Amino acid sequence: MIVVGIETSCDETGVAVYDSNRGLLGEALFSQVAMHADYGGVVPELASRDHIQRLVPLLDQVLEQASLTKQDIDAVAYTNGPGLIGALMVGATFARSLSYTLNIPAIGVHHMEGHLLAPMLEEQPPAFPFVALLVSGGHTQLVDVNGIGQYELLGDSVDDAAGEAFDKAAKMMGLDYPGGPRIAKLAEDGTPGRYKFPRPMTDRPGLAFSFSGLKTYTLNTIQAAKQNSDLSQQTLADIAYAFQEAVVETLAIKCRRALQATQHKRLVIAGGVSANKMLRDRLTSIAAKESATLFYPRPAFCTDNGAMIAYAGCQRLLAGEQEVDPIQPKPRWPMEALTAVET
């Protein structure tokens, strides 16, 4: 089955074509980051308009890459939420129009299920069951995964997501969006141990996260350095290091607990923050201590992309699901509401 995947939940237009027999055949992405940079955040209306302009050329590009024509497409998968309502509406309308005109089925995909299944596109995909750490711009969740659509939420953030904390801390350090990769780069020159940031909510049992306090801690540290006339490039790098270390260590502690609680021997990380090198290294050693194996997507599939939507949609289509109801994007959509797919 040849499935086109359409991702438009936020500020990235992703299109891909996945074949259940041959794997990923083509993939393209347009990022709107530069467009939103002047406004200090994503402007929803601009995002929607830009998705409209990008979808047709991206689809043409991907079909060309795959040496396919529209007539070869068997089905179309699109992100149906969670995300920005207008942006979601553009992708959903485009996908359902394709479905209608080509007379092929369409399926609405949960964006976080897409992230969660992205490691399945790699050469050594994880088998079920596993513990998943979803760490992105909008989510920080630990999930007990027993199959596609069989998700039990183990822990969530009570405030900011890890990626959001990276982005906000970066802003305080004078770095552009997205802040995660920029903090990671700056931290390479940081001095380990000069600053020690707190590891929020690790002093009590449970798998919940909180990253809002780390922001305040970062701001206070920067202001104190400023007052001592010590806000040099080196100091900023040292703060970046301490911030990253605190986020990574906090995530690692909870991942270890989740492995112990579930007794699963596989740990999957997905979402933008899973591209973080320090996090991958730290979790590799945590997994080893629990006799478990760590899985993650290639960096390009950690952040938003069409390939993960094509893959996730394909699995549900193969199980006989398809979207027949009127188009209805879901800006909020709990992952636990998804139905299990028999495999």
Residues at the annotated binding site for Fe cation? 111, 115, 304
- Opening angle at CA 220, ends 215 and 224, nearest 5: 150
**Euclidean distance between CA atoms 307 and 19, whole angstroms:** 11
* Binding of residue 138 to ligand ATP (CB under 6 A): yes
CB of 209 closer than 8 Å to CB of 149: no
Residue 80 found at the interface with ligand ATP (CB under 6 A): no
**Interface with ligand ATP includes 163 (CB under 6 A)?**
yes
Query: Which among ligand ATP, Fe ion, Mg ion, none contacts residue 240 (Cβ within 5 to 8 A by kind)?
Result: none
Query: Which residue ranges make up the site for Mg ion (CB under 5 A)?
Result: 10, 12, 304
Q: Of 343, 323, 340, 342, give the one whose Cα is nearest residue 149.
A: 340
Q: Which is nearer to Fe ion, 160 or 304 (CB)?
A: 304
Site for ligand ATP in 289-308 (CB under 6 A): 303-304
Element (H, E) at 279: helix 277-289
Among Mg ion, Fe ion, ligand ATP, none, partner that 166 touches (CB below 5 to 8 angstroms by kind)? ligand ATP
Tell whether residue 184 is a contact of ligand ATP (CB under 6 A). Answer: yes
Among the listed ranges 100-108, 174-182, 192-200, 282-290, the one in contact with ligand ATP (CB under 6 A) is 174-182
Site for ligand ATP contains 10 (CB under 6 A): yes
Q: Which is nearer to ligand ATP, 80 or 136 (CB)?
A: 136
Q: How far is the CB of 188 from Mg ion (least distance, A)?
A: 23
How far is CA 145 from each of CA 69, 264, 267, rounded to the nearest angstrom? 36, 10, 10
| Other C-beta atoms lying within 10 Å of the C-beta of residue 23 | 11
DSSP letter string over 63-120?
HHHTT--GGG--EEEEEEESS-HHHHHHHHHHHHHHHHHHT--EEEEEHHHHHHHGGG
**Residue 129 contacts residue 146 (beta carbons within 8 Å):** yes
Please report, as ranges, the residues that interact with ligand ATP according to CB under 6 A.
9-10, 111, 115, 136-139, 163, 166-167, 178-181, 184, 271-273, 275-276, 303-304
